[in-house]
Structure 1
Amino acid sequence: MSSQEVWLESTIGGFTATGRLHTLSVWFILALRLMMGLAFLQSGVDKVLSGSFGAAGYLQNAPPANGSPVADLFVAMGETPWFVDFVDVAVPWGEVLIGLGLLFGVLTRLAAFWGAFMMLLFYLGNWEIGHGYINGDFAYMLVFLAVAAFGAGRILGLDAYIEAYEIDGRPLVERYPWTRYFLG
């Protein structure tokens, strides 16, 4: 491994941001991935094992009670039986799968995307802005996005092996570049 400095640079809308990574950065990125993986796995397993998770009451009551700007959308979802049936399965099992994906570093970007999406919905549904617009749900959403952006599944994760798997003598991600959206 090289001891050269690693710099990041990104330009969006004409603005460029640059920064140098610290040698400990890799460990903090791994820690974020594992923390979110464990949190989601534990939350999902608790819901699956209890067998009592139900979204209808929450969707119909919590967002209007807390003043969510999208309360009407949540109420409509909560009054749609097929959607409630879907959410009753998707939330607990989604949390389990996201947690496993992050813990093992497999399909990490896909898992982190869905984790960020769920946290966005939790942020809007749990609308608590008494102390400002930034709360735990919003912060977790950003952690998921950071995990995806840094390709955290390549750090002691299975994504590094999956990406390097050769098909006809070429690594998977070279042969199928679209897999970079799911792995890493």
Structure 2
Amino acid sequence: MFVKWLRENQIAAALLTVIRLYLGYSWLTAGYHKVVDGFDASGFLQGAVAKATGDHPAVQSWWATFLEGIAIPNAELFSFLVAWGELLVGLGLILGCLTTAAAFFGIIMNFAFLFSGTVSTNAQMVLLTIFILVAGYNAGKFGLDRYVAPFLRKLFKGKLGRNETIAS
């Protein structure tokens, strides 16, 4: 019943717009500063690995192994992805354009930050993002998704609608 309300109700769409704008502003400002001022994730990544030791580690060993083996050697790439990812997630949420995709990539980043031992506002952002993901299209109804979603449906229906498969 609650899921149906989130997905179909106009009042829910309005409330989701407020949540979307709040999250979008948070992502946009964080990403903007990283893009404009420059951002190097290597210190953060090394700090996360250091939190994987002791009696009660804040970072799980499997995540620390990932950070050491993949993220730290590619810190420049991860710095770029975080800065521009935050900026683009913010834009998508504020404009209500590809809202579900923006929310999905935002929650992936939030979980990565949480896995790295940083709580801050990430848990709150995860919770709010879940509402947007569950609501789907209704979360971007008062945004560009109102125009983008029908266009994309028509585009993909035209490409795959004649008994064609993706594999052929």
TM-score range normalised by the length of the shorter chain: 0.7 to 0.9
Shift of the alpha carbon at 1:144?
Answer: 1.6
Matched position secondary structure for 1:156: coil
Larger proportion of helix: 2
Shift of the alpha carbon at 1:143?
Answer: 1.5
Q: Which runs of 4+ in 1 moved over 6 A?
A: none
Q: Which whole-Å deviations, capped at 9, do the CAs of 1:27-59 have from their partners, x for residues lacking one?
A: 2111111111111000000111111x1111211
Amino acid at match of 1:55: A
Shift of the alpha carbon at 1:106?
Answer: 1.0
**Aligned 8 A contact 2:96 2:142 in 1:** yes
Shift of the alpha carbon at 1:115?
Answer: 0.3
TM-score (norm 1): 0.68
Shift of the alpha carbon at 1:23?
Answer: 6.0
- The equivalent position to 1:123 in structure 2, one of 111, 114, 123, is 114
**Aligned 8 A contact 2:98 2:148 in 1:** no
**Aligned 8 A contact 1:164 1:173 in 2:** no
RMSD: 3.2
Paired residue for 1:107?
A: 98
Which runs of no fewer than 5 residues in structure 2 stay unpaired? 161-168
- CA distance in 2 between counterparts of 1:121 and 1:37 reads 18
**Aligned 8 A contact 1:36 1:102 in 2:** yes
Paired residue for 2:13?
A: 26
Paired residue for 1:171?
A: 154
- The equivalent position to 2:30 in structure 1, one of 43, 55, 75, is 43
Matched position secondary structure for 2:51: helix
Larger proportion of strand: 1
- Percentage identity across paired residues of the two chains: 25
- The equivalent position to 2:81 in structure 1, one of 78, 90, 99, is 90
Residues 78 and 105 of structure 1, relative CA distance in 2, 3 Å threshold: same
- CA distance in 2 between counterparts of 1:148 and 1:9 reads 11
Residues 156 and 72 of structure 1, relative CA distance in 2, 3 Å threshold: same
TM-score (norm 2): 0.74
Greater shift in the superposed pair: 104-113 or 141-150: 141-150
Which runs of no fewer than 5 residues in structure 1 stay unpaired? 1-6, 11-17, 129-134, 178-184
Paired residue for 2:166?
A: none
Matched position secondary structure for 1:117: helix
